């Protein structure tokens, strides 16, 4: 594939209704996927389109939105030397399906998003804090977290 030629069309064909939106900006492809269709879409991207590696999972907090969190996945195709970004939205209580069944490394990355933002991942076998102390109160990357932290 030269640059992003045909990536969005191929992703729409492979993932079907799971893709809510697809855009190409600044040379990067971003797919927005429904939370319920996440595992199916990621399986299709891995198995049908050759995005073998899960490079990163990141969280973003938009407190003004009803579903205030975005979970952002970065995938890499080693055979095509191409990256794609996949985003989903969630809130404080709706769990995101875990991708540990597709990529075991997702366990560590999901723990980081949980620790920093409080996003829940259903099916993650070890969803506990990874960067902060186990007794830590709150989630420090949330926009409503106090800059001084919580003090007693």
pLDDT band at 32 (very low <50, low <70, confident <90, very high): very high
CA distances 61 to 35, 65, 116, 136, Å, are 16, 9, 10, 19
The CATH number of residue 42's host domain is 3.30.460.80
- In which band, very low, low, confident or very high, does the pLDDT at 4 lie, cut at 50, 70 and 90? confident
Of the pLDDT bands very low, low, confident and very high (cuts 50, 70, 90), residue 63 is very high
pLDDT band of residue 135 (cuts 50, 70, 90) is confident
> What domain range is 110 assigned to?
7-122
The answer on pLDDT for 35 being more than 60 is yes
Q: How confident is the model at residue 151 (pLDDT cuts 50, 70, 90)?
A: low
In a domain, 145, yes or no: no
Distance from C-alpha of 5 to C-alpha of 72, rounded to nearest angstrom: 22
Domain tally, the chain: 1
Residues 6+ apart with CB under 8 A from 104: none
Does residue 55 lie within any of the structural domains? yes
CB 127 within 8 A of CB 57: no
Per-residue pLDDT reduced to its tens digit, 64-82: 999 999 999 999 999 999 9
The first and second tokens of residue 133, run together, are: 């102390």
- Asked if residue 142 belongs to a domain, the reply is no
Give a yes or no: residue 114 inside a domain.
Answer: yes
pLDDT tens readout for residues 101-122: 999 999 999 999 999 999 999 9
The predicted model scores a pTM of 0.94
Count of Cβ atoms closer than 10 Å to residue 21 Cβ: 9
Q: Would 134 be classed as within a structural domain?
A: no
Q: pLDDT value at position 1?
A: 43
CA distances from 67 to 54, 106, 107, 120, 128 (A): 24, 22, 23, 13, 22
Q: Is residue 138 part of a domain?
A: no
Q: What is the pLDDT of residue 109?
A: 98
Residue 1: inside a domain? no
Q: What is the reported pLDDT for 152?
A: 59
Computed over every residue of the chain, the mean pLDDT equals 94
Is the C-alpha dihedral spanning 145, 100, 56, 24 positive or negative?
negative
């Amino acid at each position: 594939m030269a640059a992003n030629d045909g990536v969005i069309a191929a992703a729409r064909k492979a993932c079907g209704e799971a893709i809510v939106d697809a855009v190409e900006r600044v040379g990067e492809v971003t797919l927005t996927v429904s939370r319920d269709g996440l595992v199916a879409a990621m399986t299709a991207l891995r198995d049908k389109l050759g995005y073998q590696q899960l490079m990163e999972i990141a969280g973003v907090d938009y407190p003004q939105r009803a579903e205030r969190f975005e979970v952002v996945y970065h995938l890499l195709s080693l055979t095509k030397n191409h990256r794609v970004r996949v985003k989903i939205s969630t809130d404080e209580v709706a769990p995101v399906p875990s991708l540990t069944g597709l990529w075991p490394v997702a366990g560590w990355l999901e723990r980081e998003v949980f620790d920093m933002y409080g996003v829940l991942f259903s099916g993650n076998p070890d969803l506990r804090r990874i960067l902060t102390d186990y007794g830590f109160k709150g989630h420090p990357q949330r926009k409503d977290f106090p800059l001084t932290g919580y003090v007693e």
